[in-house]
Structure 1
Amino acid sequence: MTKIFPGLALAALALTAFAAPALAGAPELFTQHCASCHGASRLGAMGPALLPASLERLKRKDAVATIRDGRAATQMPAFGAVLSAADIDSLAEWVYSPVTPAPSWSEADIRASRIEPFPAGSLPDARQGDVAKADPMNLFIVVEAGDHHVSVLDGDRMERIFRFPSRYALHGGPKFTPDGRYVFFASRDGWISKFDIWNLKIVAEVRAGINSRNAAVSSDGRYVAVANYLPGNLVIFDADLKLLKVIDGRNLKGDVGSRISAVYDAAPRKSFVVGLKDLPEIWEVSYDPQAKPFFDGYVHDYKMGEAIATPGFLNPRRTELEEPLDDFFFTQSYDNVVGASREGRGRVVNLDVRRPIASLDLPGMPHLGSGISWLRDGHRVVASTNLKDARVSVIDMQNWQTVASIPTLGPGFFLRSHEKSPYAWVDSMMSPTARDTLQVIDKQSLQVVAQVRPEPGKTFAHVEFDRYGRYVIASLMEKDGALIFLDANTFKEIKRLPASKPIGKYNLFNKIQRSEGTSH
């Protein structure tokens, strides 16, 4: 029997209220062929959620192909022999239509969704098999979006140790516990999975929301925070994915809600830093049990008409802004948040004084979430790609002035380097003509010194260094793609491993140590 998670309406009559007149028949088709796996309200069950926000990465033509042809290595069957082309088109349009009223996901739903195949203490506390033979801090975790799998690589041998199926559409980089044993994944449709790297097992899962953006793990490994677009909230779990708290995405006065766009671990501050999509605020949520209460100057006890102090532990300390910041970079101390609005206006916000302290010259649409930093002429600089303009912006972090605007082949998404490398690597994957080329930038001269183009016409992006800075792995982001190993100094290809649209690779050491050459 297919399990439908609590909180999902089962009545087919409810679906008919969601249909636009042009989609007559689609709700009935969905109820007959899809609801048993994807939930009667399209919130997901055995299969992923089928909501517009959950399908942002899936093109409409690919949705049609999936319904018609099925999806290999999953339980998604092919309906091409059962449904007409018109029916398939109608279903595809239906799943991209909004659900009204908006679906909800309560604390009871979160708790009821939790799965624990291997309870804490049930697996060996030592690395097993091929993992025991590898450098535990030079392992890579690779997210393969083509067929929704994850691979574990031995970074010294440049070999795949293990490959396993993941939840649908993992989003945001996986996050590691400080000992390197566990990694947490967040899927687009809200599932958080805890994977034991030492034993190569998924040990616990929970559905934190309906549409999640990313997750963060505290520096002590005790807490996991999840940012949700739908419902708009921040959900906090303990390390075993047991629910601790849900924080609604509302402003200080409690009258306007927001989607939560991101959450990051600020390790030196023992806190999570939270971005809001729709409100001009930044939150800092301390996970230090000894955190002192704070006073934000607002009236909390409305009956008594007086402001009261807020407990410091697991409560948002809000910083108000002039406009929402859509993307973040952090200084190494995490005292300053460097953010940009969708209009390209950059701001530096100090979390101690809780206000902006500088403006940045960042035209276009900078992607600060992929920013990196390094020392140049005795000054620390931060560099960012741009999703709209063909440039990399370099900014001095002492005076927050632009040092250089480096021309690139096209708008790019990822920028990567390493403490032991003189080079930074940037893609142009947002460009229709140059998405197949990586450019290599000298971090001192700020000049492009090389281009790497292994497969003309195929998307080539997302570099990650090994822990020693000896080589990089770049993604050939195609269905029948590859992980391409390149010498970090000569830029020559060393080796390839086949992979299905590898969208990201993450080195344990670089991530756990918060390398200046990778995003945090």
Structure 2
Amino acid sequence: MNWHLGISAVCLAASLASVSSFAGAADVPGVQALYKEHCAACHGETRFGGIGPALLPENLARLRKPEALKVIGEGRVATQMPAFGDKLSADQVQQLADLIYSEVTPAPQWDASEIRSSQVVNADAAKLPDRPGAGLKGADPLNLFIVVETGDNHVSVLDGDKLERLYRFPSRYALHGGPKFSPDGRFVYFASRDGWITKFDIYNLVVVAEIRAGLNTRNAAVSGDGKWVMVANYLPHSLVLLDAKDLSLVKIIPTLNAAGDKTSRVSAVYDAAPRKSFVAALKDVPEAWEISYDPDAEPVAEGLVHDYQYREGHFTPAMFYPRRTMLKDYLDDFFFTQSYHVILGASRSASKGQVIFLDGRKKIADLDLPGMPHLGSGITWQWTDPAGRTRTVMASPNLNEGVITVIDLETYKIIKEIKTLGPGFFLRSHENSRYAFTDSMMSKENKNVLQVIDKQSLEVVGQIRAKPGQTLAHVEFTRDGRYALASLWEDDGAIVVIDAQTLKEVKRIPARKPVGKYNVWNKISRSEGTSH
């Protein structure tokens, strides 16, 4: 079976299933004909995607229009995107760029029939052994790294002991940086920005199944019992529940507010394994949702009035209904405390964060946070204060200011604001390391610098530098915490291996824009040094 050819054909057929009209730029004479002649075969007549990705404003957020003009004219290296500069005038290129950044009206839908028609299952995968295969070359399956490389849309599997690449395979376009693992670490699940969910068998190095769960997807979560995958969508406004075994569609949960008069994009969904539930943040309505997958969950009265379908014998009617926490502010992202009873949330437009007690369904405190904290990338550790008292603290990077905010998780008060060289996206550590690593990748001048923070003194004690102009970010530790692996975020980049004690560079593993790398053990054990 030609896996990617087969899946692309299904995707293209599905993208033609419904037709919407283009708005705005579509009024320019001839632009629809240009799109149909040069773009539709790969990206679908509705712009929902096909062999190429969806061309919708929500999916192009990371591609600024000047860069899009360049891609249309010159093509994109290491992809199937050809150059059209010799076929189109500059004005025609501009018209196409205006078109793909315009909204589709009426709003595009992606319903159950379209989701189901997109599913492809590798029948041979079910026959494979449930133990690590020869392709892993004897590596510890719990000390593997999954590396997302967006430079040419591939994923690498690294041996965390030998610090070598074991395997590399093509991926969907624009994967979300955070793949999720099954509880035993055998399977990894990827979500692409244009809605594709992929299940990959790490033991046997083969794709198990794929399905398109949405048109613009934020992320996916895997349940703590390994049975379910929940997908958070911007478009359509929904949460989509999949059977983790083969990614078949189980249920679509419309993200409708409590009043029933507004729907919302979903900012993020995460698994709360100790609670046997998923927790979701809604971007457009001030509600946080907890959705239980516990067969013994108490019924949700408000949910039972809706005509949601469920499989007889597959789960109970009380499962997979939203339990709402009503808030005064929105949540863009959030952080679980280690107990999973509390989440710390923040809105991109608000100056304060919220402490939400999940059992009580209420906000219990405000967080006085500067700038734009990236709480979803926060970490925790045990810190001993000057009086000798040990307490659990949480620290968060900041997308708008050069600061790491350290918060006491008992009082929810700020202990310290650690100044950095610029706004950053990631903060990482390990239980066996005295250090936390943060980047300044949102800074023009210092995006090539990782800063090292001593977790007891709460001071910056070191720097690791790439060449000026390069981006160095996203640290992940080996299972034992001996090495820290950082991403040289360039098309001709690398995984930079750092000795976590001496802070010296050990080696580099070439990689094509490695946006993130994820250690199996650290993720499935919910290490305090990495995001969950």
- The TM-score bracket by the shorter chain reads over 0.9
* Counterpart for residue 136 of structure 1: 141
Aligned to 1:124: 129
Moved more, 451-460 or 258-267: 451-460
One of 263, 267, 276 as aligned partner of 2:269: 263
Is residue 406 from structure 1 mapped to residue 418 from structure 2 by the alignment? yes
Deviations 1:343-374 (A, max 9, x none): 13111101101101111111211000000000
User: Residue type matched to 2:466 in 1?
Assistant: P
Where do 1:8-407 residues align within 5 Å? 8=16, 15=21, 17-20=22-25, 23-118=28-123, 121-239=126-244, 240-295=246-301, 300=305, 311-342=317-348, 343-377=350-384, 378-407=390-419
- Going from structure 1 to structure 2, the CA distance change for 1:488 and 1:301 (only over 3 Å counts) comes to closer
Kept in 1: contact 2:15–2:45 (CA 8 A): no
Moved over 4 A (4+): 298-302
TM-fit CA distance, 1:66 = 2.3
Aligned-partner Cα distance in 2 for 1:9–1:195: 28
Superposed displacement of residue 7, structure 1: 5.7
Letter in 2 for 1:367: H
Which residues of 2 match residues 455-466 of structure 1 at below 5 A? 455-466=467-478
Q: Are 1:10 and 1:39, in contact at CA under 8 Å, matched by a contact in 2?
A: no
Do residues 513 (structure 1) and 488 (structure 2) align? no
Q: Deviations over 1:290-320 (max 9, x none)?
A: 2121346x99489xxxxxxx94311111111
- Measured in 2, the distance between the counterparts of 1:425 and 1:279 equals 34
2:313 aligns with: none
C-alpha distance in 1 between matches for 2:125 and 2:134:
20
Q: Find the counterpart in structure 2 of residue 306 from structure 1.
A: none
Give 1:256 shift: 1.1
1:323 offset after TM fit, Å? 1.1
Q: Is the 8 A contact 1:251 1:257 kept in 2?
A: yes
Deviation, 1:406, is 0.5
- Matches of 2:26 and 2:115, distance apart in 1: 34
Match of 2:312 in 1: none
| CA root-mean-square deviation | 1.9
**Which secondary structure does the structure 1 equivalent of 2:527 belong to?**
coil
Distance 1:162 1:52 in 2: 34
Question: 1: distance between equivalents of 2:443 and 2:364?
Answer: 34
How far has the Cα of 1:223 moved from its partner? 0.2
| Separation (CA, whole Å) in 1 of partners of 2:150 and 2:437 | 22
Deviations 1:74-113 (CA, angstroms, capped at 9, x unpaired): 3322223322333223222221111111111001110111
Contact 1:7 1:105 in 2 (8 A): no
Distance 1:400 1:295 in 2: 33
Q: How is 1:482-497 mapped onto 2 (pairs within 5 angstroms)? A: 482-497=494-509
Distance 1:61 1:146 in 2: 19
1:164–1:301 CA distance, 2 compared to 1 (3 A) = closer
- Of stretches 483-492 and 76-85 in structure 1, the one that deviates more from structure 2 is 76-85
Q: Within 2, Cα distance between the matches of 1:129 and 1:405?
A: 48
The 1:105–1:156 alpha-carbon spacing in structure 2 relative to 1, beyond 3 Å, is same
Output one character per residue of 1:328-356: Cα deviation in whole Å (capped at 9) or x when no partner. Answer: 01111110011112213111101101101
Residues of 1 paired with 2:443 and 2:530: CA distance?
22
CA displacement at 1:8 relative to structure 2: 2.8
Tell me which residue corresponds to 2:14. 6
**2: CA distance, partners of 1:173 / 1:116:** 23
Change (3 A) 1:348 1:277: same
Greater CA drift, 126-135 or 48-57:
126-135
The alpha-carbon deviation at position 46 of structure 1 amounts to: 1.7
Q: Match for 1:454: what amino acid?
A: A
- For these two proteins, the number of residue pairs brought into alignment is 509
Partner amino acid for 1:510? N
TM-score, structure 1 as length reference: 0.94
1:262, 1:275 within 8 Å by CA — same for their partners in 2?
yes
Percent sequence identity over matched residues?
59
Cα 1:23–1:154 change in 2 (3 A) is farther
Flag the 1:21–1:202 CA change in 2: closer, same or farther, 3 A: closer
Unaligned 5+ runs, structure 1: 303-309
Instruction: Note closer, same or farther for the CA distance 1:77–1:103 as it changes in structure 2 (3 Å cut).
Output: same
CA distance in 2, matches of 1:466, 1:299: 45
User: Is this contact kept in 2: 1:213–1:261, CA < 8 A?
Assistant: yes
Superposed displacement of residue 28, structure 1 = 1.1
Matched to 2:355, the amino acid is: V
- Measured in 1, the distance between the counterparts of 2:356 and 2:83 equals 51
Q: For 2:145 and 2:497, how far apart are their aligned partners in 1?
A: 12
SS of corresponding position for 2:328: coil
Q: Deviations over 1:183-238 (max 9, x none)?
A: 00000000000011111111100000000000000011110000000001000011
* Aligned amino acid, residue 194 of structure 1: K
Contact residue 141 and residue 150 of structure 1 kept, 8 A: yes
* SS of structure 2 residue aligned to 1:169: coil
**Post-superposition CA distance 1:3-50 (Å, at most 9, x none):** 533363577xx65x5343774332211101111111101001121100
CA distance in 2, matches of 1:94, 1:299: 42
Instruction: State the one-letter code of the partner of 2:366.
Output: S
2 CA distance for matches of 1:427 and 1:301? 46
